Structure 1
């Protein structure tokens, strides 16, 4: 039998490696920006077109590469970061695998321009699908510029799996945020389709957070600082009153590398125990500095998961640090229920002398009943004069009252005839209840063939969905004006999403009086929307658009109606009156598609009499 095992060609191996390294354009952004950081760049510029599908370009002013290094950087397992296996446990850099550029070059058109400071000219290399097309000497500034064009041009199946431009742009911005937050000492710029999205100057950590998420974020942050032998913790957590429905603003950095850790996230959640509302998540931006020997980075293809040697100790320290910060800045409640902080003496008055007690002079010999002499006249205080003819006031009252009693005894009152009505009053009519609520989740109604069981949350979603969809389509809806406009603060990225769906929101009844860089002012809301739910609806809408942007088969109108219906529908566990139950049932069966919710889940089931009888056999 002939041999069947053979070595793969380099371009095929690179394409296979690209399946792990490059999942979407955001993966290319991450790898190129981390390489720029490792090159000691102080300014990094990211340029993307068509959500990275057409172009991803990273320009830095780092150390650059020589001619040999530039050519060798596109070979597999070529890296300047490690020399031996022991170096894997002493990592202080980002990239170390040596597969990033080789994998990217295997599935895209790559153009590299680089120059070291001491060289007079630089190097330009053009690669298409792992094949070097050209290598020239060019004039270029110090640093490196890598342009990745036409991603997945030779793998059309992978390209078809990419999401819409809006989703891919969100993933790119997420990666940009992660890298920029980890390195506030570096200036970052981002351009998308020719327009500037971010311009983050070199700053401290707090300013970097504010520059990314908006000026209003500054008042939401509570500093966390703790240094132990195991870990050094620094950063910020968000105040409980600003907790969001989504998990967007949650960042862990270990040795300046972004990670995801459900275990450490639970430590933060337990520190906020009792301070957060239901279904809300606290924000945090925490940096953890640990000994590189105590962690293993090389356990996940994207390096977003890290294995710690002593997770339990780290969990306890992190939880205690956050809890201490919340208590130190009077965020957490105190145990002294009798103490009123408003009565505390201010620090500026603690050394001030007590005020002098005013002197009160009292005439202790004063007697109000003593006779006094005024201008030759003698008077007695509080002496009343009794009239001499006081008894004449009551003459004739006795005889008059007797006469009135005799007069009233002869009066007769006319009584109305009592007639029985053949119709009962509304109060006497017994209303027959046709619906019942089970476990505050299901509405049960009787039908001719048996029993109808309705999921109240899904049913109400269907009713609201069709209602909103009709309003948006017809472009006619009722709006109630607010006495005081509602002001909401969002990040730059979230404001841009609101701008995109502003017209559709106005068709549902929302009215916007002002939309600025990080602030939205709403002067009118739909009639069915309470003012307190406005922020919840918009947060849910932004999250849905970021994660579930419709493909070409669906419109943004459909997504908007689904998102608003999900936010406003009655929740499981909410008690409904008999009238509300009947209205929900009637409204559901007035819909065009009562069987399914907007998310294609069953809204009701029927149990026939035969099925019930089988249960008793």
Structure 2
């Protein structure tokens, strides 16, 4: 009987490895940029076409490769970074597994041009699907140029799973920003479809952050720095007032390598305790330098997770460093026992003595006595010295006449309607509410109970209002007719370049819901009109949640995107659990819910109400 276990061919093994290394075009960008950094480059250019599906090209001015190395770099497990197993715990470079180039060459058309500085001629290699097509001597500039074309050309199933160009390009920008933030001493340029998206000259850490996220970021940064035997820590955190509900501007770098760590993130959140609003998270750019033998970076295929030798000490150091910086720069409240100079006695008054005030009292004064009954001494003193009290009494004797005619008649008072303090607003217009025969009741500020013929119906107020708003927003986006309320003073909101691009993409759909954009610039937007049911205070939270929802899973088609926008806005603007509703608002939710096309479920496919019949109640009491 023949064996059933066989060795895989090299090209099949490379394609399987490519599935782990290359998940999307952004994975190729990450690997090529890291190789360019390891080549000791000072200038790196990234050229992308159609979000990397057509072309990904990385050009650097590094040390380059010779003829043998240029051919050998595409073999599996071929690397210049390590020689022995012990080298895995003394890594100072990024790419070290030796699978990246072999995996990329297995699923794309790759073209390599490289030359070392001491050589006059370079090497030009063309590979298509792990097959060497040509290798020639060529005149090329110093450094290396990798061109990856037609990604996943031989794996159409994987190519079909790619998202839209906008989605894939955002992932490329994320990888580009992570490498650029880790190496501010290197110049980075990004081109997409012939347009320059980023041009970041060599600078310091603060300048690099400002260059990526906009000039207004500079005033938000609070520097942190701490040096111990365990870790050398430096970077910046954002002031608490600029915290967002999304997790956009949060970066950890360990030995200039971007990582994700929920444990370290919790340490930063603990330092901000008491300074943030509910649901908000701070931004930070924190760089940690640790001895290579104290970390293990070979526990994840994408190398974004790291295992630390002493996590508890690192947690305490990071938390105290952030908390100290927030207090040092007067961001957090602190106790200061130093003497306040403003409380000192002025110099001119130091030599003067203290004089006690004197008080003169008329012991014969009787407020209930008439002027004729007053003692002779009081009358004489009044006529001679002038009693100020009696003059005030005469002057104010007819004070009631000042208000004659201002008080309304009794019948006018009885006809006036006073607004109760408990009613702060209404979700629905009076014309929209039909008064049913049966009343509604609110339970625990969460459910609305209404009797029906067969029993009663229990409605989840938040989910029901989400369904109402969702269908309303979706209808407005589709019909493209919605009224707006104009603002007296336009709102100016700041965002980074990636968020601005996303808002620009959503702008037509937002305008159909009632938003009016006066300007959309590189780092800010100007809004002069809002939907009728959106207040100025809700705009920032609404747009942040909308950006966060779309960044997590951006739809491909325009209809799906409009659907996601309507869902996100409905979720943000719906009445939340714990909101006390008036009887009119409860009736409005009930009537509007059952006027919807699909009242049974919320936009997120969760039930909005349940019914309980009289028979069900009778069964409960029959036990």
Sort the TM-score into its range (normalised by shorter chain).
0.7 to 0.9
Number of aligned positions between the proteins: 550
SS at match of 1:154: coil
**In structure 2, C-alpha distance between the alignment counterparts of 1:335 and 1:574, rounded to whole Å:** 37
Matched, 1:565 2:570: yes
Deviations, residues 189-235 of structure 1 (Å, cap 9, x unaligned) = 11111111111111111111111111111111111100000011100
Match of 2:481 among 476, 481, 488: 476
User: Cα 1:59–1:345, aligned 2, differ >3 Å: closer, same or farther?
Assistant: farther
Shift of 1:10: 1.0
TM-score normalised over the length of structure 2: 0.84
1:457 corresponds, among 459, 462, 472, to 462
Residue 591 of structure 2, aligned match among 578, 586, 594: 586
Please name the residue that 1:442 is paired with. Answer: 447
Shift of 1:103: 0.5
Shift of 1:156: 1.2
Aligned-residue offset at 1:283: 0.6
Normalised to the residue count of structure 1, the TM-score between the two structures is: 0.85
* Alpha carbons of structure 1 residues 433 and 109: separation in structure 2 relative to 1, 3 Å: same
Contact kept? 1:166, 1:546, Cα under 8 Å: no
Matched residue, 2:91: 91
Listed one character per residue, the Cα deviations across residues 425-476 of structure 1 (whole Å, up to 9, x for unaligned) are xxxxx99872222332222222222222222222111111111222222222
Q: Does 1:197 align with 2:197?
A: yes
- Structure 2 CA distance, aligned partners of 1:481 and 1:444? 37
Residue ranges of structure 2 left out of the alignment (5+ in a row): 356-379, 387-434
**2:617 aligned residue:** 612
Q: In the alignment, which residue of structure 2 is the partner of 1:182?
A: 182
Q: Give the CA deviation at 1:606.
A: 1.9
Alpha-carbon separation, structure 1, partners of 2:3 and 2:562: 59
**How many angstroms apart in 1 are the aligned matches of 2:548 and 2:311?**
31
Tell me whether 1:354 sits opposite 2:337 in the alignment: no
Supply the RMSD in Å over aligned alpha carbons. Answer: 2.6
SS in structure 2 opposite 1:522? strand
Residue of structure 2 equivalent to 1:391: none
Tell me by how many angstroms 1:540 deviates: 1.7
Q: CA deviation at 1:526?
A: 1.2
> Are residues 33 and 577 of structure 1, via their aligned partners in 2, closer, same or farther at CA, if it must alter by over 3 Å?
same
How far does residue 546 in structure 1 lie from its aligned partner after superposition?
Answer: 2.1
Moved segments of 4+, more than 6 Å: 356-360, 430-433
How far is 1:150 from its partner? 1.1
Separation in structure 2 between the aligned mates of residue 515 and residue 236 of structure 1, nearest angstrom? 28
Deviations 1:122-148 (A, max 9, x none): 111111110011111111111111111
Q: Any gaps of 5 or more consecutive residues in structure 1?
A: 363-379, 387-429
Aligned to 2:607: 602
Task: Give, in whole Å, the separation in 2 of the partners of 1:6 and 1:471.
Answer: 60
Contact 1:164 1:551 in 2 (8 A): yes
Asked whether the 8 Å contact 1:252–1:285 carries over to 2, the reply is yes
**Which of 1 and 2 has greater Rg?**
1
In the other structure, the counterpart of 2:237 is 237
Report deviation, 1:539.
Answer: 1.4
Correspondences of 1:145-544 after superposition (within 5 Å): 145-335=145-335, 345=342, 354-355=347-348, 384=384, 434-544=439-549
Secondary structure at 1:501's aligned position in 2?
helix
How far, CA to CA, are the matches of 1:353 and 1:114 in structure 2? 76
- Cα distance in 1 for residues equivalent to 2:346 and 2:585: 66
The answer (yes or no) to whether the contact 1:48–1:191 under 8 Å persists in 2 is yes
What is the CA-CA distance between 1:252 and the residue it aligns to? 0.5
